[in-house]
Structure 1
Amino acid sequence: MTRRPATPLPPPAERRRLREAALLTPVQLAARLGVEPGTVRAWESGRTTPRGRRREAYAKLLTTLAEPAGRSAPPEAGSLAARHRRSGTPVVTVGPEKRGPRGRREPVAPESSAFTQAPPSSPRPPASPAAVPSEEEGEEGCPALTPAQAFDGLYAFCAPALVRQAYLLTGRRDLARESVERAFQLAWERWPEVARDPDPAGWVRAAVHEWALAPWHRFRRRHRHPEPPLADAADRALLEALLLLPPPYRRTLLLYDGLGLDLPETAAETEATTSATAGRLTHARETVAVRLPDLSDPRVLHRRLAELASDERLRAADPPDVRAGSERRARFRTRAALAFTVALIGTTALALHTAPTRYEPPVPPGETVQGVPPKVAPGPLSQDQRELRDKLRQTLRDRLLHGPERLTPQSR
């Protein structure tokens, strides 16, 4: 009886490419095959290989996706995916979203929160009137976005709102701007990872909040001076109430009541359990309500947080400056690593050059020979021994100068 040969499968990278070309998520592909999404990710990464009926079903589905009909998609989505796929630039989604009643993401109206701002679309290089779409251009004739243009678009969309959020978390204007710049510099260093993230705006927001709430900022010299107070007394009272909260509680209140995230998303971003996040939120609301009874209603608190964030005029740096700063920091770290490596190699070479080339055994301790004890090393001399030594030295010196005494014969 002969065993049936296994159905051939494309390489793991090709499997993932076919799924992404068909605009399918791992969850959707897993639903078609009747497996878990983690199983699909393991197949695409090469950690495991399907067998039996699952292998045949997976191979048949990949073959269907590889056909031209399997790549059919809506015109707009297909053209956008084609542009980015041909240029090698990942698709970036920066639009604000929220969870619907059934866990489905729904767009948030721009006027619903002052923490989000939609700037005008990023400028594109002008195309020639007689230009003909080529392979590097999309199906609609629009040039593909470069990584720098995609980053600038994400920065222009998120930076103003993130500066206001960081200001509510810290109460310091310079630290808020610095947190946004550092977070976007880190995002530019890891741009392939950030661009492929399902929520790049959330990735940057988490980095901004973590940098702004870092505890070591209190030891910096410029943060020892008080910040200029706000003009409005109500705004000052609200900001003081926020700053009295512990940093995790403050961040939870901002994410839930300020940005409108639901409880599981807030818990995931603050790296806490859902029950712990609910407790932090309740404690933060009670603390703010004790100091400001007018803000006991969450809807009123949300409106006041938005007003407090929008009243303060905070400007962020330009995207090219942020990218240039990220590249300078990367060059500095690279040079520092090279200098450390050269110093380590030089120290190792010096140690090898000055090290002994042969083994030198240590001097063994003395042993008793025929009852005679070993000679003990001389120790400190006593006063009598020093006087005797000096006398012997003086006698020896006199004999060397005057010579030995001679015997003279005498008559009887």
Structure 2
Amino acid sequence: MSFADIYARVVAWVGAGAILARSFNEPKRSPLYGSTPDIPAARPQAIPTLKMPTARGWSGDHKPTAAAGLTVNAYARGLKHPRWMHVLPNGDVLVAEALSTPGGAIKTPFDYAIFTTMRRAAAVGQSPNRITLLRDADGDGVAEEQHTLLEGLNQPFGMQLIGNTLYVGNTDGVYAYPFTVGDTRITATGKKLMATKPGGHWTRSLLASKDQTKLYVGVGSQSNIGDSGMAVEEGRACIFELDLTTGKSRIFAGGLRNPVGLAFEPTTGELFTVVNERDGIGDETPPDYLTSVKDGGFYGWPYSYWGKIVDDRVPQDPAKVATAIAPDFALGGHTASLGLCWLPEGTLPGFGDGMAIGQHGSWNRSTLSGYKLAFVSFANGKPTGTPRDILTGFLSPDEKESYGRPVGVVIARDGAVLMADDVGDVIWRVTGA
């Protein structure tokens, strides 16, 4: 064992002791949900919390637990870190397979401890950098065909088909490829339409406007709270609007630390996103959130959270904080809510109108949170009530291992709900029992 490995283990032991101490010193809190969460005061951590289950995967017929009245089956297996999906008009399902890659200098023992923990949890490694096309030709709810549609990409994530063009969100920008529905391979070189800064929070989700003339592009921050200054964060922590006619882009909304899933609420037409909030000030401080996104809106990061609650660790900009908008709905602290999909009433028996949310799960709090496919009901165009579980059972009983981790969510052409599981390397399919 190398000195670096020994040092990392010491750091992990110190961190475990800090977690134990926090469990005695901090009251146990239920996850914060809803439109008016009672957010605990910030408690900056000298030793960052680091707790994450080891990746195990699924064995045999083992699968997630579906809510009462629902059933789940594996739509596709044998993928490599499937993160995001897009359903084509003929029912084919595109899957972006990509992985965080080791990047940046490891400068401290904590950097090394975080890296080794993430590697053990299958959260970093060699990225497959491809898009796979899945086809269920016989309609039995299992994709018997898998085709490599595109490869050699740069951490692909978001995908949108408009006409005969497939748009792909790589970590370094938005690319366009000629594509005909029914094809199983793209050999043409993509045209880069818009550049984004790679790395950091690397996912680039895409959503087409209703008239299909624009793309909304989610771009996360480089760091936790602007750790290397705000210059490197320019063009990050925001949602862009890319005009496909003119090729011009603009920041549609900012101050969003890591906006990943994007979806429209159909009655109001408002754009919604789920955002991963900052680390290092408590298990439930601040909560991740689901929110509508206003054109020109600013949502606080890094200066404040949940509107105007100031983060004292950050050099302040009072004028920016004064404009900060509070989110619509808290989703619990560090749940890593990533996937987002509007489910109309009737999609799943017993569930009304609302959003399905893939909660990837925490790595940075003393008790685990997330690790489920959740559902948030909507009324009058706004999220309401308490989230309900659609799929659970992604953790071992002692929570030391993860069988899978939820990410992207889509509705298949047959009305089933599909969810990508990037640790289990599976696409799960949920229907009525």
TM-score interval, smaller chain: under 0.3
Higher strand share: 2
Answer 1 or 2: higher relative contact order, Cα 8 Å, separation at least 6: 2
Higher helix share: 1
What is the TM-score with the length of structure 1 in the denominator? Answer: 0.25
What is the TM-score with the length of structure 2 in the denominator? Answer: 0.24
